[in-house]
Chains A and B, each alone.
Chain A
């Protein structure tokens, strides 16, 4: 079957329960918003293909349950992710403080070269804000990630967030590809290796081979 895209990126949404991960995703994939989405049990999945600098990029986005208990299931899917969005709720202090824990989780379970981005969602609820923009910014500087405040409800910065993350992955990938010519780290290989969440050792092994290529410079 003919492929309708140039690149395939796998993204993951994580963060505390109720911060709006599913809403962010639905706004991006279906351009819809519903105040009373049902809670995610386990993992859900959406796709959207975007145009980026003349390339068609298919984003495969995995949405995870926020309750801590589900981490035993969800961390298994970190390994295959090329980009991770860490979402907190600007009206919920705890969800912001927990970003540190989520980062630790990524460091433990995801690939070293995964692109990360911190998202402060629900920025339409200014009257209930408890986490200032500056604190969000500060945290992202501390961890060396990009940062954006979004509102899934008002469709504010949602597109921008996903495009930015995709652009960063693409940039990293192309830089990597440029230098691995002749080593075997081609785009096709990258796609193949990172299409799916790490299922079984085989895939993990492939990913690791890729990392060796990648980290070498």
Chain B
């Protein structure tokens, strides 16, 4: 208990300071120990240096402005709504449909879909934002998401953008690492013709849903601190810690192991996993075997938030026009079911196909 309080005190003093580009040893050690749950609200944005990205890319009011526009024009409304219905529904905050946290989740995702138009919305993002919203408020979660996408350390943009260039690069790199560090597993994969697609889910959500939730939180702490090298190191860590099992598994047994067994029970204590992860992360770093990043072509090419150049009045008019056209068409064809939408101030929007703004800059 005393140790816990001492740790908390150290955290509080660190959080008062400005985030540094290279975290001090004290902070690094603290994060590896696991951030106390009630401090994640401050610690996560601190580790990401979110204020920096917020200042450079937007400013304070942007989020509200984006959200207002996005609700009217985002092309991704349907997919987002669909995925919110199946995101952490067992978690108390997301249990009830269209409840407050689900509304926040919707708002952040639609706002981001018009802000970073190259990504828009990609499946997997709803889990990330839901996780952020378990600790942060909407606006903070939005900027954390953006930072995760574009900061050189995390650059998740390359994972979610069409074609998944970073996934392909990382997968190839992981194969090479596995061959080097765990050749017997690599041989088993070749022998059993085990494809590497399992890394997609691992990396798109930094192991959410694939390891028990408390462990996933510890991994997120360290992912925010150290960046995407953690994704590679943890993939290798799973292989190493379960090497004796994995190198014997057939394709079917391996998939069951990855999809169910590890997420039910990782088989080691969280501290053991983190200690071994730290060793592997530093070993790969020492050997200079981490992927080189960031790759420029994988990053965003278009400016962010160009939708803000349109006033709300323009957008309303435009949406009205499209809605009229849409109604004419739908009167002629069969009625389309439109999903119930998160009402702003209790007003219900018939979302229909949520017509996208035609002159939205691409």
Seen from chain A, the residues whose Cβ lies within 8 Å of a Cβ on chain B are 17-18, 36-45, 47, 60, 65, 67, 69-70, 72-73, 77, 91-93, 128, 130, 195-197, 199, 203
Contacts and interface: CB of A to CB of B under 8 A. Distances in A.
Contacts of B89: 36
B252 A47 contact: yes
A39 B126 contact: yes
Interface in B157-215: 162-164, 167, 193, 195, 197-198, 200-201, 204-205, 209
Give the one of A37, A38, A67, A73 with max B CB within 10 A: A38
B86 A199 contact: no
Interface string B199-237: 011001100010000000000000000000000000000
Interface stretch (B21-29, B55-63, B77-85, B300-308): B77-85
A199 B200 CA distance: 16
B197 A38 contact: no
Interface size class, chain B: 20 to 34
Interface residues of B: mostly helix, strand, loop or mixed? loop
Nearest to A203: B193
A103 to B, nearest CB: 22
Interface residues of A: mostly helix, strand, loop or mixed? loop
A18 B124 contact: no
Given A18-B82, A45-B259, A73-B164, A93 B197 contact: no
A43 B127 CA distance: 17
B252 A60 contact: yes
A130 B333 CA distance: 12
Given A17-B79, A69-B162, A196 B251 contact: yes
A45 B255 contact: yes
Nearest to B82: A18
B313 interface: no
Interface in B82-96: 82-83, 85-87, 89-90
B325 interface: no
Nearest to A70: B123
B83 A39 contact: yes
Given A36-B89, A60-B252, A67-B79, A93 B126 contact: no
Nearest to B124: A41
Interface string B82-126: 110111011000000000000000000000000000000011101
A197 B209 CA distance: 24
B170 to A, nearest CB: 13
B237 to A, nearest CB: 20
A73 B200 CA distance: 10
Nearest to A36: B89
B336 interface: yes
Nearest to B335: A130
